[in-house]
Chains A and B, each alone.
Chain A
Amino acid sequence: MIGFYHVYKQYVKESYAIYDINLSIEKGEFYFLTGASGAGKTTLLKLIYKEELPTKGQILIDSVNINLIPRKKLYKLRRKIGIVFQDFKLLYNRTVYENIAIPLVVRGYRKSYIDKMVKNSLSLVGLNHRKNYITSHISGGEQQRVAIARAIAGNPIIIIADEPTGNLDTELSIEILKIFEKINNNGITVLIATHDNNLIRMFSKKTIELKQGKLISSPTKEKQQWIY
C-alpha cells in the first residue's frame, strides 16, 4: 500500500530529518509511528501526502510513485488519504457539519449524499449532537473528533493521524484510539504518529519507530526487497 525506498529528507544542509528509510505499510493494518520529539514522525507523514518532497528516494502509494505526480494531479493522491493534523486545521468559524463536509463538497457530490456521509462520520466519532455547533464553541476533545470525522468522510483508503491524542487525558485518548480501531475494522489502513508509550502498550499494534530520522524498528523490516 505504502512503500518507502531509500528515502531521505533534508530541510537544511548537513542535517537529515529522515535518513535512508525503507518501509512497507500493508493494506488494512493498524500502525503506530513512534519516536522522540524531533525524530521525524511528522516529516514522514508529510512525505506520504506530499506536503514535503523527499530529498532522495522513492515513495509508492497505491502502486503510484508519488514523485511523479504532477501538481495538477496531486488532488488524486490527497483523496486517497484522510489526514488528521496535529493542529487539527479546522475552520473554526464554520459549523461542525460544514467542516466534515469539506472533503465531500470539493469532490462535487450531491447534497443528499454529503448529508448521508457526514451523518455516518458523525456517528462514528459520536458527535451527532454537535452537528450544527460552531466549531470554535466545542471542546478540544470534540474538535479532535471533528478532525477525525473529516478525515474519514471522504472515504479514504488510509487514515494518517499526527499525535491525535496529544492534548488529551488518558481516558479521552483511549476513546479516540477506539474510534481509530473502529475505522480500521472497516478495512481502512491506519497510521498514527504518537510518542505516548502507554497507549502503544495498551493497544498492541504494529509499531514503526524512528530515532533521529532513522528507522530503528519496523514490523516488516526483514522484507525490504523491492521489485520495479
Chain B
Amino acid sequence: MDLLKKSLSNAINNILRNKLINFLCLGIISFTLLTLGIFNYISYNLEIFTHNFSKNIEAIFYFKNDVKEKEIKAQISKIRKSLLVDEVIYKSRDEAETSFLSQFPELKYILTEFDKSPFPSSIEIKFKQEESNLTTKIISFIEDIEGSDIIESKQVNIDWAKKVLYIKKFISITGIFLSGILFFVSVFIIYNVIKLNIIYRKEEINILQLVGATDWYIKFPFIIEGALMGLLGGIIAGILLIILIKLIPSYSDFIINILKDIISLKKIPLKILIRLLFFGTIIGLISSLFSLKKFFKK
C-alpha cells in the first residue's frame, strides 16, 4: 500500500517534471482514444438505429396458387419454430377475398368473374423485439424463406435495414483499423517516454539495485506511471467525447431533427466511457512493460 502511494506520487512527479514530453504523449493517447470513442459512439447509434428498425420489420409472403395446404402448414410450423419469430398470421385464399371485400365493397363485381378466390394465400410474420442485434439474423431468415419454391412473391421492408447494417459494418472496420494504427503509435510513444524516464533515473535505479531492491520494486513505479498516463489519456478522451457530443446540435440541427425519434444522439453510454479508460490503461501498461523488459533484460 505504501509502495503504491509512493509510486503514484513518483509517477505524478515524473509526469510533471517532463511536462512537454508527457503532455505531448498524453495528447496522442487522448487522440487515439477519442478516435476509438467516436467510432464506438457511431457504431452504437447505428446499432440502436437498426434495432429500432427491426421492430418495424414485417414480412408478408404470398404462396403460389397451386401449392397444397399441407405444404403451407409445414412451412408455417417451420417458421414458428424459429426463436426470432413472434407471431405468424396465416390468411387463406378465402380469407383474403373476405378482407378485400370488407375494404372495397364497391369492387365486388370484379370478383364475380372468378369461381375461386383470385387472391393468393399468405402469411405475415411478426418478429420479436426485445433483443438487440437480431436484425442481421432476421434479414437472413427472411431471405431463407424467400428461397423456398412454394413462395410466389413477398412484401418486405428490409432494404433500408440492410443498407444501414452495411454502413455500420464499414464504419466498424474503419474504426478498428484506424484505432489499431493509433494504438500502435500510442504504445510506441509511451514506450519511448517511459524509456526516457528510465534513462533519466538510471543512477537511482542502479543505487536501488545495489542496496538490494527487487526488480519488481524498481519496475513498479514505472508501470504505475505508464498506466496512469494511459488512464489520464482515457479521461481526457472521455471528456472530449462528451463535449463533442453536446456540441452536435449546433452544427447539425437538420440531421438531428430527422433522426431524433429513432436514436438518442445526445446520450453517450457509460459502456463506451469505461471502455476508453480501460483501453487507455491497457495501452499504458503494455508500453511500460515493454520498456522495462528491454531495460532489464540481460
Is this pair of chains taken from one and the same complex?
Answer: yes
Give the interface of A toward B (CB within 8 A).
Answer: 49, 51, 71-72, 74-76, 78-79, 83, 85, 89, 91, 102-103, 106-108, 111, 150, 154
**CA of A119 to CA of B116 in the docked complex: distance in angstroms?**
111
Beta-carbon contact of A75 and B214 below 8 Å: yes
Beta-carbon contact of A102 and B298 below 8 Å: no
Encode contact with A along B264-298: 1 for CB under 8 Å, 0 otherwise: 00000000000000000000000000000000001
Given contacts A91-B207, A106-B212, A108-B3, 12 further A-B contacts (CB under 8 A): A51-B210, A72-B215, A75-B209, A75-B214, A78-B209, A78-B210, A83-B210, A91-B204, A102-B208, A107-B212, A154-B211, A154-B212
Q: What does DSSP make chain A's interface, helix, strand, loop or mixed? A: helix
Q: Tell me if B217 counts as interface (CB < 8 A to partner A).
A: yes
Beta-carbon contact of B206 and A75 below 8 Å: no
CB-CB < 8 A to A107: which residues of B? 212
- Assess A78 versus B298: contact at CB under 8 Å? Given A89-B206, A91-B204, A106-B217: no
Beta-carbon contact of B3 and A78 below 8 Å: no
CB-CB < 8 A to A150: which residues of B? 211
Beta-carbon contact of A89 and B212 below 8 Å: no
Give the interface of B toward A (CB within 8 A).
Answer: 2-3, 203-204, 206-215, 217, 298
CB-CB < 8 A to A74: which residues of B? 209
Distance from A8 Cβ to chain B, minimum over Cβ atoms (Å): 21
Beta-carbon contact of B215 and A79 below 8 Å: no
CB-CB < 8 A to B210: which residues of A? 49, 51, 78, 83, 85, 89
Q: What does DSSP make chain B's interface, helix, strand, loop or mixed? A: helix
**CA of A85 to CA of B211 in the docked complex: distance in angstroms?**
11
**CA of A89 to CA of B210 in the docked complex: distance in angstroms?**
10
**CA of A76 to CA of B213 in the docked complex: distance in angstroms?**
9
Q: List 25 A-B contacts (CB under 8 A).
A: A51-B210, A71-B298, A72-B214, A74-B209, A75-B215, A76-B212, A78-B209, A78-B211, A79-B212, A85-B210, A89-B203, A89-B206, A89-B207, A89-B210, A91-B204, A91-B207, A102-B211, A103-B211, A103-B212, A106-B213, A106-B217, A107-B212, A108-B3, A154-B211, A154-B212
A-B interface, 6 closest residue pairs, ranked by CB to CB distance from nearest: A79-B212, A106-B213, A78-B212, A103-B211, A75-B212, A75-B214
Distance from B7 Cβ to chain A, minimum over Cβ atoms (Å): 12
Beta-carbon contact of A106 and B211 below 8 Å: yes
**CA of A91 to CA of B204 in the docked complex: distance in angstroms?**
7
Residue from the set A85, A108, A111 with the largest chain B CB neighbour count within 10 Å: A108
Residue from the set B2, B203, B209, B211 with the largest chain A CB neighbour count within 10 Å: B211
CB-CB < 8 A to B203: which residues of A? 89
Distance from B213 Cβ to chain A, minimum over Cβ atoms (Å): 4
Closest to A72 in B: B215
CB-CB < 8 A to B212: which residues of A? 75-76, 78-79, 103, 106-107, 154
CB-CB < 8 A to B215: which residues of A? 71-72, 75
Closest to B206 in A: A89
- Assess A102 versus B214: contact at CB under 8 Å? Given A71-B298, A108-B3: no
Distance from B234 Cβ to chain A, minimum over Cβ atoms (Å): 31
Distance from B4 Cβ to chain A, minimum over Cβ atoms (Å): 12
Residue from the set B2, B204, B210, B217 with the largest chain A CB neighbour count within 10 Å: B210
Beta-carbon contact of B209 and A102 below 8 Å: no
Distance from A182 Cβ to chain B, minimum over Cβ atoms (Å): 21
Closest to B211 in A: A103
**CA of A107 to CA of B217 in the docked complex: distance in angstroms?**
9
**CA of A74 to CA of B209 in the docked complex: distance in angstroms?**
9
Closest to A110 in B: B2
CB-CB < 8 A to B213: which residues of A? 75, 106
Closest to A82 in B: B211
CB-CB < 8 A to A79: which residues of B? 212
